[in-house]
Amino acid sequence: MKKLINAPEDVLVESLKGVAAAHPELAVDLETHVITRAEPKAQGKVAVVSGGGSGHEPLHGGYVGRGMLDAAVAGEVFTSPTPDRVQAATKAVDRGAGVLHIVKNYTGDVLNFEMAAELAAMEGIEVGTVVVDDDVAVQDSLYTAGRRGVGLTVLLEKLVGAAAEEGQDLAAVVALAQRVNGQGRSMGMALTSCTVPAAGKPTFELPDDQMEIGIGIHGEPGRHREPLAPASEIARQLVEPILADLDAAGPAIVMLNGMGATPLIELYLMYGEVAALLERAGVQIARNLVGDYITSLDMAGCSLTVLKADDELLRLWDAPVVTPGLRWGA
Amino acid sequence: MKKLINAPEDVLVESLKGVAAAHPELAVDLETHVITRAEPKAQGKVAVVSGGGSGHEPLHGGYVGRGMLDAAVAGEVFTSPTPDRVQAATKAVDRGAGVLHIVKNYTGDVLNFEMAAELAAMEGIEVGTVVVDDDVAVQDSLYTAGRRGVGLTVLLEKLVGAAAEEGQDLAAVVALAQRVNGQGRSMGMALTSCTVPAAGKPTFELPDDQMEIGIGIHGEPGRHREPLAPASEIARQLVEPILADLDAAGPAIVMLNGMGATPLIELYLMYGEVAALLERAGVQIARNLVGDYITSLDMAGCSLTVLKADDELLRLWDAPVVTPGLRWGA
Amino acid sequence: MAAETVDTAGLHDWITRFGAAVAEKREWLTELDSAIGDADHGANMARGMSAVSEKLASSAPAAADDLLKTAGMTLVSSVGGASGPLYGTFFLRMGMAAGAVQELDAPALAAALRAGLEGIVARGKAEPGDKTLLDAMSPAVDAFDAALAGGGDLAEAAKNAAVAAATGRDATLPLVARKGRASYLGERSAGHLDPGAASTALLFESLDATIAAG
Amino acid sequence: MAAETVDTAGLHDWITRFGAAVAEKREWLTELDSAIGDADHGANMARGMSAVSEKLASSAPAAADDLLKTAGMTLVSSVGGASGPLYGTFFLRMGMAAGAVQELDAPALAAALRAGLEGIVARGKAEPGDKTLLDAMSPAVDAFDAALAGGGDLAEAAKNAAVAAATGRDATLPLVARKGRASYLGERSAGHLDPGAASTALLFESLDATIAAG
Ligand SMILES: Nc1ncnc2c1ncn2[C@@H]1O[C@H](COP(=O)(O)OP(=O)(O)O)[C@@H](O)[C@H]1O
Ligand SMILES: Nc1ncnc2c1ncn2[C@@H]1O[C@H](COP(=O)(O)OP(=O)(O)O)[C@@H](O)[C@H]1O
Ligand SMILES: [Mg+2]
Ligand SMILES: [Mg+2]
Ligand SMILES: [Mg+2]
Ligand SMILES: [Mg+2]
């Protein structure tokens, strides 16, 4: 395992120390692993909280700031944070107008945030929850854990953060979150596995001439493995399952995301391929992101997220955002 | 070789296509590989041009935009662009107030930009040149090619871009560029080699328990190889040679840069280590960047850049910048 | 002949043995989770159980319910992931069922285990055959009950439960996961043991060892 | 007996042979550059020489200077890197020295080669022993001159130049680089052939083959 770390068990806290050193505009609690804005929002505003396992940086801590999250809770690598820490974040940012929990659909995240919401209710804090489940690689079914929450989480945090920032109430913010979740889909692939520091070796072995299609963001193996293909073919394998699941004709916000070890030159190349396919299918890309926004440690690969947009979503998208990971308009 | 590409020989143009698709605010010439702002600066403003081999993204194309570069010229991977293309960029952005060429100190870059400046002179365009040579891994000497230009290039492009944007004349912009180059230093290290697409295999082999200290940004082997060490020790090996060469006590702008395949969680961890060492040495980090700003394809590793700052440099640093790679204040 | 009750010290011993087993098998649990999950089950359980040990070392409650609830709360607040709330709920519900007593006889322990199991079902909403820790825990608790119903003693119940848990763990091998992270793999999840079922088998193996030693 | 002059077609043949040699040895040149540079010398030279071939195929100039200058300009505008301006300057200066003639006799070719060499020195400011392509080119041009001065013919001059270039290439092996990318390696650059010296040896090997065939 080759990583810029000291002891594997210290990775999370030491990385948070670096975040604290780099971003005086954030308050980083090294005990609870909760990141909040140094300057909290005013009383009476809905607070937006997200969190999950670490290893997806800049998600979630990098999205704390004006126009996006009020707090992020960082779990151990790939492990949902515990309920007491989610509750600590919830209490820290509640401004009397309720708190939205943005949860990615994994059993661990759902259970821990559920328990946290129970704790919050006991203390009289109103909590709304959205469970993001946008990953078309996973067949959805009533009888399974359902689809995973992946790339759409980034777009949702931005849009919902803008709505909360402009003073929308909890019901409106929750409704917006549900709506965004309903009209966004993602699909990912990997060229290599990632290596969890505590495990010390790659989660899966992928021969030099193979790739995994349909991976999530935790080094889980994908839906299937196949021979390494050119970017144009990979693009097709990302675009088609999304469009099979979502009628995305019309304006859209599109993200081509790197998994952590994919250089930008490749991401742009893939974006060119993907944008051409989408546009041929009638998707009008109104806004886009190309870069590392929700990663999987040192995995090489990428994911595509397509969110159907409208004037309201584009307005919220363009609203100012000032976070380490996304910044514009201010 | 595992990359998100089609044919190796098409990587550059196809990646530029993606840049064009992602950034309507840029004009990308797929013939000359020149990237300019879609909305050029007004007549009478100094233009700032940079360029070099590709594979360092977001450098340089990702720094074209308001407050930074007017044009970037993308060479083949790790190969300086040719003089005619630099000249095409120079002509495209000249607004009658002269053009600054920002050149990283490599024989190829220096020779090609030199020939381009000769071509520009023949057409009556005044060109000033700064050759960035900040890499303390390389011993400087009158009899060698001198130090390489690496991370400082990013900070210099930002600062000089701000000065040009606010209307400083060519002499002032050149003087600023020289001053910045004089008071910034960098040092890099690699955990893995990178793979040049056309070569198809890693430039050097690095055993699983070894690292290279003092690498550049072209997959060149470093000054020496040694056993893989903890982040704290690596931080020391980056900080010490910089401080041995530069009296950096006082305010500074610091960049901890990823080489392309290093995840953000590791970069933040390294930043924590580096910031602590610098502060112990009397460096007051006034501004910082942590992320992938000048990369080496898919190399894993990082580099540290320290630039002595003062009120004037901090003012220019804080000036609005709107580019794909750096954005704030607007 | 083994004792017919287990006291708070015995429950503590069980938890200690489980912690040791998890620490010993940590890499194996993580390996199982690498194949069909995210390579952290060993780390998760080891982190949680070492937090429990520390907590109980600093102040070991005298009552059975306090001990079990402390273990549960500590797991909930130190593990995260799926296994944290699930194992945490198991011990919390066991504690609630056990009540403020100093020792449990065989039927009381059976009732507590059953309550723990039901707590996991209520939280995780998995069913037998979904390829989760339930596939080890549910047959184990059933076997415990069946042994008592058949006139067996505590030792026999614990032994049978341990065997049933191990059998249940092995039976997850061919299953296609329908809950948890492994479910994302679809058909590819078949052919691998479920990591949670593997740690649950350790839980009942440890209980058996405790009773046998007691 | 070989011809005592080389005409424009002969120069064209030389360039074609050089292009073919570079294409054939492309991977080797890149490998040499991987060891002490940035793994692109083969790609650079191949890209440049194939651009030159294409250019000359579409319109081959009749005069020696036009031919050489076209080759030089095409290299300058298609290669980039260090080798583009250097090899480009070499052919440009050769062309300027050759003048608007249809053929060059041995002394004229010698003068043109010398002018090309001096162009490289003026551009790159390297000295013999710096571990650059000069270490092959400088002895090659010297050997060419020496053969003529000693009464040798064009063929002998070309042969001796090729041998001197190859010897010069091999002599770069132990050198510590002082110019170009390899200089960043310091002492570690010793023990490797210089990639540019290797391509320059191909240049003179091709010249020798052209003259011998002519
Ligand atoms: N809904 C559920 N009900 C019961 N057990 C579950 C459920 N979901 C997951 N599990 C168990 O949790 C185990 C995984 O635990 P762990 O790896 O620690 O958490 P995570 O999946 O969050 O990484 C699985 O092997 C499975 O036995
Ligand atoms: N200053 C110089 N003078 C002469 N030759 C040089 C000089 N610098 C570099 N070279 C030659 O250029 C070769 C490298 O060419 P190439 O790899 O194509 O360019 P780059 O170094 O820009 O990648 C070196 O092997 C060396 O022979
Ligand atoms: Mg996990
Ligand atoms: Mg090069
Ligand atoms: Mg797991
Ligand atoms: Mg080279």
* Atom 13 in ligand 1: residue holding the nearest Cα: C196
What is d(CA A35, CA D184) in angstroms, rounded to the nearest whole number? 43
Tell me, yes or no, whether chains C and B touch by having 3 or more C-beta pairs under 8 A.
no
Predicted pLDDT of residue A142: 60
**Three-state DSSP state, D117:** helix
What is d(CA B133, CA B142) in angstroms, rounded to the nearest whole number? 13
When pLDDT is averaged across residues B86-104 and rounded to a whole number, the result is 97
Ligand closest in space to the Cα of B76: 4
What is the longest distance spanned by two Cα atoms in chain A? Answer: 56
Cβ contacts of B20 within 8 Å, gap of 6 or more: A272, B26, B28, B30
Domain ranges within chain D, ordered by starting residue:
5-213
> Is C85 touching ligand 1 by the criterion CB < 6 Å?
no
Which of B256, B177, B186 has its CA nearest to residue B215? B186
Q: Answer whether A81 touches C (CB < 8 Å).
A: yes
Predicted pLDDT of residue A143: 66
Distance C42 CA to ligand 5 centre (A): 8
> For the complex shown, is ipTM > 0.95?
no
* Atom 2 in ligand 1: residue holding the nearest Cα: C124
What is d(CA A3, CA D119) in angstroms, rounded to the nearest whole number? 47
> Is D135 touching ligand 2 by the criterion CB < 6 Å?
no
For residue A77, the chain C residues in CB contact (below 8 A) are 40
Asked if residue D2 has pLDDT above 60, the reply is no
Mutate to test the pocket of ligand 2, among B80, B104, B107 (most ligand atoms within 8 A of CB): B107
Q: B183 to each of B1, B63, B141, B307, how far by Cα in Å? A: 39, 21, 18, 6
Which of B153, B228, B154, B152 has its CA nearest to residue B190? B228
What is d(CA D51, CA D48) in angstroms, rounded to the nearest whole number? 5
* Atom 1 in ligand 2: residue holding the nearest Cα: D124
Q: Answer whether A107 touches C (CB < 8 Å).
A: yes
Among the ranges given (A227-241, B108-122, C155-169, C180-194), the one the predictor scored with the smallest mean pLDDT: C180-194
> A298 to chain B: nearest residue by CA?
B263
> Is C134 touching ligand 1 by the criterion CB < 6 Å?
yes
Predicted pLDDT of residue D214: 80
Predicted pLDDT of residue D1: 43
Distance to chain B for A234, nearest Cα, Å: 8
Predicted pLDDT of residue C1: 43
Ligand closest in space to the Cα of D83: 2
Q: Which of C76, C183, C188 sits opposite A115 (nearest CB)?
A: C76
Q: Answer whether D50 touches B (CB < 8 Å).
A: no
Interface contact flag, D178 B143, Cβ < 8 Å: yes
Q: Answer whether C114 touches A (CB < 8 Å).
A: no
For residue A232, the chain B residues in CB contact (below 8 A) are 6
pTM of the model: 0.93
Architecture of the domain delimited by D5-213: Alpha Horseshoe (1.25)
What number does the ligand 1 atom closest to the CA of C135 have?
27
One DSSP character per residue, C123-162 reads: HH---TTSSSTHHHHHHHHHHHHHHHHTT--HHHHHHHHH
Distance to chain B for D89, nearest Cα, Å: 10
| Percent above pLDDT 90 for chain C | 91
Residue B146: pLDDT band with limits 50, 70, 90 = confident
Beta bridge partner(s), residue B190:
B212, B301
Mean pLDDT (chain D) is 95
When pLDDT is averaged across residues A133-161 and rounded to a whole number, the result is 89
For residue C76, the chain A residues in CB contact (below 8 A) are 82-84, 115
Predicted pLDDT of residue C76: 96
Predicted pLDDT of residue B104: 98
Helices (H), B223-321: 231-245, 264-280, 311-318
The per-residue pLDDT for range D12-25, each reduced to its tens digit, is: 999 999 999 999 99
Residue B58: pLDDT band with limits 50, 70, 90 = very high
When pLDDT is averaged across residues A205-209 and rounded to a whole number, the result is 93
> In which element (H, E) is residue C213 found?
helix C195-213
As annotated, the active-site residues of B are 56, 218
Distance B107 CA to ligand 3 centre (A): 50
Among the ranges given (B2-6, B76-80, B229-233, B260-264), the one the predictor scored with the smallest mean pLDDT: B76-80
Sign of the alpha-carbon dihedral angle for C195, C199, C204, C208: positive
Distance A166 CA to ligand 6 centre (A): 54
Distance A106 CA to ligand 1 centre (A): 10
Most confident of C7-11, D3-7, D176-180: C7-11
What number does the ligand 1 atom closest to the CA of C32 have?
25
For residue B270, the chain A residues in CB contact (below 8 A) are 4, 18
Mean pLDDT (chain C) is 95
Mean pLDDT (chain B) is 96
Distance to chain B for A297, nearest Cα, Å: 6
> Is D68 touching ligand 2 by the criterion CB < 6 Å?
no
Give 3-state DSSP helix, strand, coil % of chain A, rounded to 5: 35, 25, 40
Interface contact flag, C40 A145, Cβ < 8 Å: no
Ligand closest in space to the Cα of B56: 4
Asked if residue C148 has pLDDT above 60, the reply is yes
Q: Which of A81, A107, A139 sits opposite C124 (nearest CB)?
A: A107
Q: Amino acid letter at A290?
A: V
Mean pLDDT (chain A) is 96
When pLDDT is averaged across residues A166-189 and rounded to a whole number, the result is 98
One DSSP character per residue, A77-122 reads: ETSPPPHHHHHHHHHHH--SS-EEEEEES-HHHHHHHHHHHHHHHH
Cβ contacts of A85 within 8 Å, gap of 6 or more: A32, A33, A34, A51, A73, A75, C77
The per-residue pLDDT for range C78-103, each reduced to its tens digit, is: 999 999 999 999 999 999 999 999 99
Beta bridge partner(s), residue B327:
B322
The per-residue pLDDT for range B155-211, each reduced to its tens digit, is: 999 999 999 999 999 999 999 999 999 999 999 999 999 999 988 999 888 999 999
> C77 to chain A: nearest residue by CA?
A82
Interface contact flag, A266 B232, Cβ < 8 Å: no
Interface contact flag, A112 C179, Cβ < 8 Å: no
Predicted pLDDT of residue A140: 67
The per-residue pLDDT for range A208-255, each reduced to its tens digit, is: 999 999 999 998 777 889 999 999 999 999 999 999 999 999 999 999
The per-residue pLDDT for range B97-112, each reduced to its tens digit, is: 999 999 999 999 999 9
Asked if residue C2 has pLDDT above 60, the reply is no
Mutate to test the pocket of ligand 1, among C22, C130, C132 (most ligand atoms within 8 A of CB): C132
> Is D81 touching ligand 2 by the criterion CB < 6 Å?
yes
Give 3-state DSSP helix, strand, coil % of chain B, rounded to 5: 35, 25, 40
> Is D138 touching ligand 2 by the criterion CB < 6 Å?
no
Residue A26: pLDDT band with limits 50, 70, 90 = very high
For residue A17, the chain B residues in CB contact (below 8 A) are 269, 272
Beta bridge partner(s), residue B257:
B291, B303
When pLDDT is averaged across residues D77-104 and rounded to a whole number, the result is 96
* Atom 18 in ligand 2: residue holding the nearest Cα: D41
The per-residue pLDDT for range A140-153, each reduced to its tens digit, is: 666 677 899 999 99
Predicted pLDDT of residue A221: 75
Q: Which of A5, A270, A327 sits opposite B18 (nearest CB)?
A: A270
Q: Strands B250-258 and B283-291: what pairing? A: parallel
The per-residue pLDDT for range C21-45, each reduced to its tens digit, is: 999 999 999 999 999 998 899 999 9
Q: Is the peptide bond before B60 cis (omega within 30 degrees of 0)?
A: yes
As annotated, the active-site residues of A are 56, 218
What angle in degrees, to the nearest 10, is found between the helix axes of D8-24 and D41-58? 150
When pLDDT is averaged across residues C68-85 and rounded to a whole number, the result is 96
Interface contact flag, B266 A5, Cβ < 8 Å: yes
Q: Which of A261, A265, A272 sits opposite B21 (nearest CB)?
A: A272
Asked if residue C3 has pLDDT above 80, the reply is no
Q: Which of A57, A228, A271 sits opposite B2 (nearest CB)?
A: A228
Predicted pLDDT of residue B91: 97
The per-residue pLDDT for range A41-86, each reduced to its tens digit, is: 999 999 999 999 999 999 999 999 999 999 999 999 999 999 999 9
Asked if residue A139 has pLDDT above 80, the reply is no
Among the ranges given (A96-105, A194-203, B224-233, D163-172), the one the predictor scored with the smallest mean pLDDT: A194-203
Ligand closest in space to the Cα of A109: 1
**B59/C40: higher pLDDT:** B59
| Percent above pLDDT 70 for chain B | 99
| Percent above pLDDT 70 for chain A | 99
Distance to chain A for B268, nearest Cα, Å: 5
The per-residue pLDDT for range D149-203, each reduced to its tens digit, is: 999 999 999 999 999 999 999 999 999 999 988 988 888 899 999 999 999 999 9
Mutate to test the pocket of ligand 2, among D36, D132, D199 (most ligand atoms within 8 A of CB): D132
Which of A267, A312, A321, A314 has its CA nearest to residue A289? A267
Q: Answer whether C30 touches A (CB < 8 Å).
A: yes
